[in-house]
Amino acid sequence: MPHPRPVALVTGAARRIGATIARKLHAEGYDLALHYHRSEQEMQTLLAEFDAVRPGSAYALRADLTEFDRLPELVAHSVGRYGRLDALVNNASGYYATPFGEVTPTQWDDLFATNARAPFFLAQAAAPHLAAAGEHGGAIVNIVDIYAERPLPRHPVYCMAKAALAMMTRSLAAELGPRIRVNGIAPGNILWSDNPVKAETIEIVQARTALRRQGAPEDIAQAVAYCLASPYLTGQIIAIDGGRSLFI
């Protein structure tokens, strides 16, 4: 008997925005394949939370997304567990400063691997399964960034990698229709970085955001759920930034 509920694979799902996306999709009725890398305790806590609501509804997959062989394995394990795949949410992301003149090839490879290469090859592995999903097929949502379209000081490699992800979103929407919809979410300032040196301060957020405040992870999760549920939406990158992208 086919698995009765839709299934989503979410990368970087153990904490922060990824965990909030997972909670939203679980509440919407998805069973989940949840990727994480180092956040073991957070992932176990999240699994226990989901299991208390609906036993067996979430499954954890540990992988370093810079290791190419792990990418098709994530999809294979997800489909092997549930027998179907309806959605792929490419949320995992590397983010740190790379001031020009100090950039190393290792930093370049790392930021492009997590922000562009992994989403692309996960999509390539997932596509046959997504195409077989549901009445209208499956969907991919990529978490991009408003800085895919504008430079962020001291972060040129990150911005370039996210720009590649934005173009991937549009390109795959054209390539994979009509059975697979591909969209992106471009967050503004939602959570402060774990890095001690912040890209923006609260004063900048208040002065350069139309809504004069920081967003919340729930704003991103709601947008992801909307993209997955919208059968006539594809090739779009939606800025969830409180109007931050209106300002230079």
Quote the pTM value: 0.96
**Active-site residue set:** 158
| Domains of the chain listed by start with CATH number | 7-246 (3.40.50.720)
User: Residue 52's pLDDT is what?
Assistant: 98
* DSSP string for the chain: ---SS-EEEESS-SSHHHHHHHHHHHHTT-EEEEEESS-HHHHHHHHHHHHHHSTT-EEEEE--TTSTTHHHHHHHHHHHHHS---EEEE---------TTS--HHHHHHHHIIIIIHHHHHHHHHHHHHHTSTTT-EEEEEE--GGGSS--TT-HHHHHHHHHHHHHHHHHHHHHTTTEEEEEEEE-S-S--SSSS-SS-HHHHHHS-TT-S---HHHHHHHHHHHHH-TT--S-EEEESTTGGG--
Mean pLDDT by 10 residues, the chain (248 residues): 92 98 98 97 98 97 97 98 98 97 98 98 98 94 97 96 98 98 97 64 87 96 98 98 89
